[in-house]
Structure 1
């Protein structure tokens, strides 16, 4: 009897040890799709928007105001794809500081309208950080910068053709350059001077410096008129400057000047074209709406699309013969 009891106890002990050593049962697998998959860091999170910064000069005249206006308008149109910040500055130092702010904000691309000399170093810093740069209008000698611009040099070429056609090959022409605008003035002057040498080598060219504002156009040209008793034409590079020039001519009572050119596409300037039959008022259309293309280029680059490094928009000449085709009551410029 004792042997039977001992045998039962031994069997119970063995079964107990086996039960204790049995591995824990694996949990039941969850239904497919119930566990979140690890994120793929190479793909942007759903709904992520690209960050694009916009740098423009502070408003000095209507054209610059229109650039900022159209850039922001395009950014708003693309609000389902991008976040944006737009900042305006009064000089190169302020724009440099704002560029640093946009880098800190996390801008992936910056659309810049750098009207001042000295922006090469800060822009190179942004490029080195992997930020895409799209310059509007201004040419900067840096590798990797995209640019959207009107054809500044051709504006000068067309200005020379226009003036020679209206006043002849031996006329006296005043060039109003704007050295502070960098490549814009340099290219427009280059186009004019080289074309003039080709088609009218006897043209008498006198050069003065001014600014892209009507106030400076008025003040500087009033002084120019006192120094030059005979002027046949004025190669002005900007509509705002030209508005000031025309006021100076009127106030001085001068009747010798037969052509005043311009550039940009100001509605006020267009409306002046038919008002004075004694002066051919011309503008080489250089629309601020082009900045929308610069914003588009920035987005395309960030999306990995292939785009041209430089996009040049052709020159259109506007004068009293066709100005009605370019009137736009909704234009801010």
Structure 2
């Protein structure tokens, strides 16, 4: 090869290398095969999770031809663990967004998928070993307890009797209750009469509230830390024909409660706190967009839980969602 031909050959290689490295090159974007593993729609909140996951798939695949999203729903932890293996081996995913059915039971299966080189984003229910994940996305459980406490204390002018209905005995529920109690410490004239578990279930909440109404002759406000529980609470109050309760504060922004706020249909329903199943949509979107760019998410992303009132309720109203 002559000196001139050699120079031209080297120049061609250099130009090719620059083109390959150019961020605007069409082939610089990664192809992302994203698996989504979530609980089945066994109650209204998880029905919302499934709905928002499918909304994310529809919108993101349309906008990104290099993205494929495969969604698996499971009725229990064992089924979800098996689905993870299918996603890794049959679907050959290179990214995973998982809302674990249970924390402990899913930690090892998720770790095995991560060990195959799959990028893992865990949503809401954390794993027992965080080394099994690349990123964690959740709602703000501290704010979920703090926001209702502040609203109730202010509305009662710092005095009165209140009762609380907790969810299930979990670290998530503890965070919420600790935050609620932390606010109430500043209001010595507000008495928390009792706080019992009602399992985020309207029937259990109905029974717990019946007990409260029998035992306590004066209740000024109820913190039912979930909108399903708030429905059970309202049913018990109506059945007992009690008119002393000024506030029933639920949580998570179920569409029925938000519509009640918008329409001002019940004077006891004055506010709510956001903790929408939409966070699965946000987690899928953030993960897909980051991986398409070859980037990683922050280790932890907390989606704010904020106060919802009649003034901003329309921003949190999703009538097509099952939740």
Corresponding residue number in structure 1 for 2:96: 110
Partners of 1:325 and 1:169 lie apart in 2 by: 29
For 2:281, which of 269, 275, 292 is the aligned residue? 292
Structure 2: distance between partners of 1:224 and 1:93 = 38
Q: Matches of 2:311 and 2:55 in 1, distance apart?
A: 31
Matched residues in 2 for 1:194 and 1:251: separation? 33
Instruction: Describe the SS at the equivalent of 1:67.
Output: helix
1:89 and 2:71 matched: no
- Alignment partner, residue 149 of structure 1: 138
Please tell me whether the aligned partners of residues 103 and 125 of structure 2 are also in contact (alpha carbons under 8 angstroms).
no
Aligned-pair distance for 1:325?
Answer: 5.1
Distance 1:240 1:87, change over 3 A: same
| Residue 75 (1) aligns with residue 57 (2) | yes
Q: Does 1:191 align with 2:158?
A: no
- Structure 1 pair 104–325 and aligned structure 2 pair: CA distance change class (3 A): closer
Task: State the Cα deviation string for residues 270-297 of structure 1 (Å, max 9, x = none).
Answer: 22232222x2442101222222221123
* Runs of at least 5 residues in structure 2 that lack an aligned partner in the other structure: 1-19, 21-26
Bigger mean CA deviation after superposition, 93-102 or 66-75: 93-102
Q: What is the CA–CA distance in structure 1 between the aligned matches of 2:36 and 2:189, rounded to whole Å?
A: 43
Residue 276 in structure 1 maps to residue 262 in structure 2: no
1:51 to 33, 54, 60: 33
2:299 is matched with 309
| 2:235 paired residue number | 247
Q: Secondary structure at the match of 1:172?
A: strand
When the two structures are superposed, what TM-score results if normalisation uses the length of structure 2? 0.78
What secondary structure sits across from 1:203 in the alignment? Answer: strand
Match of 2:119 among 126, 132, 147: 132
Per-residue displacement from partner, 1:16-61 (whole Å, max 9, x unpaired)? xxxxxxxxxxxxxxxxxxxxxxxx9xxxx99984221112222233
Question: Deviation of residue 321 (structure 1)?
Answer: 5.0
CA deviations on 1:128-164 (whole Å, 9 max, x unpaired) are 3322221222333513431222211112111110111
TM-score (norm 1): 0.76
Q: List 4+ stretches of structure 1 deviating above 6 A.
A: 45-48
Query: Cα deviation per residue 1:116-135 (whole Å; 9 max; x = unaligned)?
Result: 34233332333333222212
| CA gap 1:292/1:322 in 2 versus in 1, 3 angstroms | closer
Per-residue CA deviations over 1:163-200 (Å, capped at 9, x if unaligned) read 111224443322222225x4432322221122222444
Q: Specify the alignment match of 2:226 in structure 1.
A: 238
Q: Which has the larger radius of gyration?
A: 1
Q: Is the 8 A contact 1:88 1:95 kept in 2?
A: yes
Tell me the secondary structure at the aligned position of residue 111 of structure 1: strand
